[in-house]
């Protein structure tokens, strides 16, 4: 059986935490530049130009783009034919977060308990989502999530009678209510179906898709496009100062659900939509 040592996993996560916070994704930069061409508000264009300038400073000077360096959300797709050796996989992922946030001078924003609220001092624990997949590799995505945007998310357990129109209305209303809070231009992750936790998971996972890459299923890609058009007619614009670039993209994921329900989850991400990923290959014993 192929093996991966926990130290290799921690090293990879450390690097991903730092890169996600210092380096704007090429997909997002392309999104900003496209938006500069289509944004009709002068204030909106100025915001986009400053965001491009900010990304350049962060990249060149090796500093975080934003002071909210987020809670570390980790998606780990673990091949069923690989053996993790040298310790606990979960601890290895947390150790990577701990080191990344310390060495990268990232802000420690995690508190120990929602009521006691004492800072844990090292930005752990991470939020870890495991998936067991075929193969002998481990694929890790680190998506640091800031809470200016996270706080604007919402879930609605829609009735099936509300249909596609009801689901779409809920998504647009959620973005409209959020206004300038989540740092537009935003990326909107939408999860529909499953159970309540499945829908919210899908909405979060959708945010890790390359910006603007449509859902491979054409009917769903059309819904994404229609939602994006409706959202960009809201007028919120970059930073909420007014304009027609409220969102850079809408990413929709769906899942089978129960005859009696239609959960709809909306997870909003700020304009940086940070995520970095790596595939670790198993080695022979």
- Furthest-apart CA atoms within the chain: distance in Å: 60
Residues sharing a CB contact under 8 Å with residue 7, sequence separation 6 or more, in sequence order = 86, 92
| Contact status: 100 vs other proteins (CB under 8 A) | no
| Contact status: 108 vs other proteins (CB under 8 A) | yes
Task: Compute how many other C-beta atoms are within 10 angstroms of the C-beta atom of residue 197.
Answer: 12
Would you give the binding string for other proteins spanning residues 67-86, x where CB under 8 A is met? xxx-----------------
Partners of 142 in the β-ladder = 74, 276
Task: Compute how many other C-beta atoms are within 10 angstroms of the C-beta atom of residue 128.
Answer: 16
Which residue in 235, 258, 279, 281 binds other proteins (CB under 8 A)? Answer: 235
| Contact status: 171 vs other proteins (CB under 8 A) | no
Residues 172-231 that bind other proteins (CB under 8 A): 179-181, 183, 230
Would you give the binding string for other proteins spanning residues 119-158, x where CB under 8 A is met? x---------------------------xx--x-------
Q: Distance (Å, rounded) from C-alpha 282 to C-alpha 285?
A: 9
Q: Which is nearer to other proteins, 81 or 229 (CB)?
A: 229
Q: How far is the CB of 235 from other proteins (least distance, A)?
A: 3
Q: What are phi and psi of 21, to 5 degrees?
A: -85, -25
Q: How far is the CB of 39 from other proteins (least distance, A)?
A: 10
| Contact status: 271 vs other proteins (CB under 8 A) | yes
For 26-30, the CB contacts below 8 A with 24+ separation are 27/210, 27/211, 27/212, 27/213, 28/211, 28/248, 28/271, 28/272, 28/273, 29/55, 30/211, 30/212
Q: Distance (Å, rounded) from C-alpha 117 to C-alpha 188?
A: 29
Question: If we measure between CA atoms, which residue out of 174, 181, 100 comes closest to residue 144?
Answer: 100
Q: How far is the CB of 19 from other proteins (least distance, A)?
A: 15
Q: Which is nearer to other proteins, 96 or 238 (CB)?
A: 238
Residues 8-67 that bind other proteins (CB under 8 A): 40-43, 46-47, 50-51, 53-54, 57-58, 61-67
Please, what is the end-to-end C-alpha distance for the chain in angstroms?
Answer: 7
Q: Distance (Å, rounded) from C-alpha 229 to C-alpha 6?
A: 45
Q: How far is the CB of 205 from other proteins (least distance, A)?
A: 22
Residue that is written with structure tokens 């409220």 in the block: 246
Would you give the binding string for other proteins spanning residues 238-267, x where CB under 8 A is met? -xxxxxx-----------------------
Q: 185: cis peptide before it, omega within 30°? A: yes
Q: How far is the CB of 141 from other proteins (least distance, A)?
A: 21
Q: How far is the CB of 252 from other proteins (least distance, A)?
A: 20
Q: Which is nearer to other proteins, 51 or 207 (CB)?
A: 51
Q: Which stretch binds other proteins (CB under 8 A): 213-221, 235-243, 250-258, 276-284?
A: 235-243
Binding positions for other proteins, rule: CB under 8 A: 40-43, 46-47, 50-51, 53-54, 57-58, 61-69, 105-109, 119, 147-148, 151, 179-181, 183, 230, 233-237, 239-244, 270-272
């Amino acid at each position: 059986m192929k093996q991966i040592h926990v130290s290799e996993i921690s090293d990879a996560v450390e690097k991903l935490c730092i890169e996600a916070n210092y380096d704007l994704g090429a997909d997002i930069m392309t999104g900003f530049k496209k938006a500069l061409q289509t944004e009709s508000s002068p204030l909106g264009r100025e915001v986009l130009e400053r965001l491009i300038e900010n990304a350049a400073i962060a990249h060149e000077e090796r500093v975080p783009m934003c002071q909210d360096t987020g809670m570390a959300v980790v998606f780990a797709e673990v091949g069923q034919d690989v053996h993790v050796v040298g310790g606990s996989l979960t601890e290895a992922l947390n150790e990577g977060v701990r080191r990344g946030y310390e060495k990268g001078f990232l802000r420690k924003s995690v508190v120990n308990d929602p009521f006691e609220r004492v800072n844990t001092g090292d930005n752990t624990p991470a939020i870890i989502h495991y998936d067991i997949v075929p193969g002998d590799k481990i694929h890790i995505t680190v998506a640091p999530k800031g809470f200016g945007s996270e706080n604007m998310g919402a879930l609605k357990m829609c009735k099936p009678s509300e249909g596609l129109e009801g689901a779409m209305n809920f998504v647009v209303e959620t973005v409209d209510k959020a206004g300038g809070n989540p740092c537009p231009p935003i990326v909107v992750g939408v999860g529909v179906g499953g159970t309540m936790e499945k829908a919210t998971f899908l909405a979060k996972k959708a945010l890790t898709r390359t910006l603007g890459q449509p859902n491979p299923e054409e009917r769903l890609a059309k819904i994404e496009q229609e939602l994006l058009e409706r959202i960009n007619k809201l007028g919120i614009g970059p930073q909420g100062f007014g304009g027609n670039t409220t969102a850079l993209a809408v990413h929709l994921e769906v899942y089978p659900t129960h005859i009696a329900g239609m959960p709809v989850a909306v997870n909003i991400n700020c304009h940086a939509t940070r995520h970095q990923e790596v595939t670790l290959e198993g080695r022979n014993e």
